[in-house]
């Protein structure tokens, strides 16, 4: 008789998310957001973090956009950062695909915010 215990154990670990990178949120924008953006902008993008205090553009759900709400403007900001603020550049840290996914995530957060936030 063949021992199927290791295969069963692996299947359970993958299904439960016990192995990093193998399970969890399948959306790459959400994954990159949690890794790179959430500390400053918060999990919901509202900027209610200790770091964001006094930084009016940290809230991505209030409809106030320093660089504009268009997809390409947001993408440029994520990729190049803003030397006049604490927003760092993420090109070289995130892949172009991850940057696009983060922009999609930002646009979803803005759409879920108050009525005036929608780009």
What's this model's pTM, rounded to 2 decimal places?
0.74
The range of the structural domain enclosing residue 94 comes to 26-117
Burial class from Cβ neighbours inside 10 Å (0-12, 13-18, 19+) for residue 44 reads middle
* Total domains present in the chain: 1
- Whether residue 18 lies inside any domain: the answer is no
Kindly report the CATH number assigned to the domain that includes residue 75. 1.10.760.10
**Read out DSSP for 53-94?**
TT-GGG-SSSS--SS-SSHHHHHHHHHH--TTSS----BTTB
| pLDDT at residue 115, rounded to an integer | 56
Residue 8 in any domain: the answer is: no
In a domain, 3, yes or no: no
**Which residues of the chain have a pLDDT value below 70?**
1-24, 115-119
The answer to whether position 9 is within a domain reads: no
Residue closest to 55 by CA, chosen among 68, 41, 44: 41
Specify the pLDDT at position 74. Answer: 97
């Amino acid at each position: 008789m063949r021992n199927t215990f290791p295969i069963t154990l692996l299947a359970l670990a993958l299904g439960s998310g016990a192995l990093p990178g193998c399970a969890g949120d399948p959306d790459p924008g959400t994954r990159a957001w949690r890794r790179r953006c959430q500390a400053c902008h918060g999990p919901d993008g509202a900027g209610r973090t200790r770091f964001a205090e006094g930084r009016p553009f940290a809230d991505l759900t209030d409809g106030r956009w320093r660089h504009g709400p268009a997809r390409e403007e947001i993408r440029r900001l994520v990729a190049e950062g803003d030397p006049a603020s604490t927003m760092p550049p993420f090109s070289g840290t995130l892949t172009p695909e991850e940057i696009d996914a983060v922009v999609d995530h930002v646009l979803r957060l803005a759409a879920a915010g108050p009525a005036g936030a929608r780009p």
